[in-house]
Amino acid sequence: MILTRRRLITGSAAGLAFAGYSRLACAAANETYAGVQSSPYVNQVPGYGALKTDPFGLFDLPEGFSYTIVSRAGDPMSDGFVTPYKMDGMGCFGLGRDKVALVRNHELGVGDGDYGPLGIRHVLAGKLRPAAAFDRYLDDRALPGGTTTLVYDLKRRRLESSHLSLTGTLTNCAGGETPWGSWLTCEEIDPKARFDTKALHGWVFEVPSGLRGVAEPVPIRGLGRFKHEAAAIDPHTGVVYLTEDESNGRGLFYRYLPEDRRNLHKGGKLQALGFREQPRGGDTRNWERADWSLGQTRDVVWIDIDGVENTDGTMGERIQAAGGAWFARGEGVHFGRGELYFACTTGGAQKFGQIMRYRPSPREGQAGERDQPGQLSLFVESSDKDVMQMCDNLTVAPNGHLMVCEDKTGGINFLKGVTPEGRIYTVGRQAQPGNTNVGANSEIAGVCFSPDGSTMFLNVYSPGMTLAITGPWGSVRT
């Protein structure tokens, strides 16, 4: 069903909450943005073609693509809680019979109590069992951050159910899927920060995608306590890779060598990336001088870390003194075909963003690794804000291309595609008007694909909306 504007408005007036009810909008015919024609940047390609204006003013897509609204902030969920605001990172997991589970982060902080699953003034607090929340305010209210899980029917293009799946955490930004079907959700909290709450924050939690209730809120302490952003696991080795979003551009890139690759709680070794030829540390940012050239590759070393629970907040300083390399706000990370990619939101001479590519050693995390080290290369560095600016969440699409979300702090946010050769194209545009700056709007986040490759899911961060996007994915032109 394709809704007219009249039906869309009528449906909204009938009720802002519409759990289980989706709205479909096809891209309109008038061309508003030609992508490659708008910029002289030589590394662009046509992709899926020009964007068409969405008549409902939500998300612009190329000809032949359409979206369904899966859920919105404020919707009642199937378990009686309220869909939280600030939708960020997300993973998609197959359930069989055309069904998928979406485990979705909500980046809610200490001041967002009224926007969490318990509703305004925590009116639904009595529905939550006491042990379900990881942490609470000093007045015993559960903290609002965490995850929700959605069950979606790909064939019928509709939401079947939604429920709270983790709560009592803070600032759940991004995360990563595990090969065994769970979601790692990461708290983006400065380890030196202290709040009027009962516990420390800055952890990673695991949420099983098939769970039909609230997960036990147990932090994976071996993954460390720092300003976590995202995680990715190499399915062949079980190594976990982690980004850190330090606003000062002095974030690190980590890996975790688990004792049991199916149970990260059993412990392991946390390490940080450095460069073999720079034992005193390296700077990948290209801010003050061009230390990296596009495509340049460096051999890496991995530095052991002590005191990973970081109670005094000095772990990052210790690692950098031991040779850890700096990254400009590490964001989304995803493992592709034998290699992984991660975004550095403010990297590059213009601070428009970088994407790094890491190719693990054939002996990754094992004896002999130093003789065949892993290699890190500068895969993309944007020098034109109209081509790509402030890359954030990303995923590897079924065709091997990257899908990259933008997180501008004063502009229109786009979904970009990147070919295996590092060439960039436009896939979509957030079309909702901004609520803070003229000519600006909310970031997009949480990009992921269904296992069959038919549907791409995406979050509009604020106040919060999840989209399911379908179309001719195989028609990209490079």
CATH number at residue 269: 2.120.10.30
Q: Is residue 477 part of a domain?
A: no
Q: Is residue 381 part of a domain?
A: yes
Report how far residue 169's alpha carbon sits from residue 202's, in angstroms, rounded to the nearest whole number. 9
Q: How far is CA 398 from CA 405, 429, 438, in A?
A: 17, 21, 36
Q: Which of 263-267, 285-289, 424-428 has the lowest mean pLDDT?
A: 285-289
DSSP 225: S
Q: At residue 378, does pLDDT exceed 50? A: yes
Task: Provide the pLDDT for residue 142.
Answer: 98
Burial class from Cβ neighbours inside 10 Å (0-12, 13-18, 19+) for residue 339 reads middle
Task: Provide the pLDDT for residue 435.
Answer: 56
Task: Provide the pLDDT for residue 281.
Answer: 78
**By the 8 A CB rule, do 357 and 14 touch?**
no
Residue 330: both structure tokens together: 């590490």
Q: Is residue 478 part of a domain?
A: no
Mean pLDDT on 173-197: 97
DSSP 13: H
Per-residue pLDDT band at 283 (split at 50, 70, 90): very high
Q: Is residue 367 part of a domain?
A: yes
Q: Is residue 23 part of a domain?
A: yes
Query: What's the whole-model pTM score?
Result: 0.91
**By the 8 A CB rule, do 237 and 217 touch?**
no
pLDDT in tens, 96-144: 999 999 999 999 999 999 999 999 999 999 999 999 999 999 999 999 9
Answer whether the bond into residue 179 is a cis peptide, omega within 30°. no
Report the domain count for the chain: 1
Q: What range defines the domain where residue 380 resides?
A: 5-472
Report how far residue 224's alpha carbon sits from residue 203's, in angstroms, rounded to the nearest whole number. 7
pLDDT in tens, 136-179: 999 999 999 999 999 999 999 999 999 999 999 999 999 999 99
Per-residue pLDDT band at 42 (split at 50, 70, 90): low
Higher pLDDT, 115 or 32: 115
Report how far residue 175's alpha carbon sits from residue 178's, in angstroms, rounded to the nearest whole number. 10
Q: Is residue 442 part of a domain?
A: yes
pLDDT in tens, 254-274: 999 999 999 999 999 999 999
% of the chain beyond a pLDDT of 90: 85
Q: At residue 8, does pLDDT exceed 90? A: no
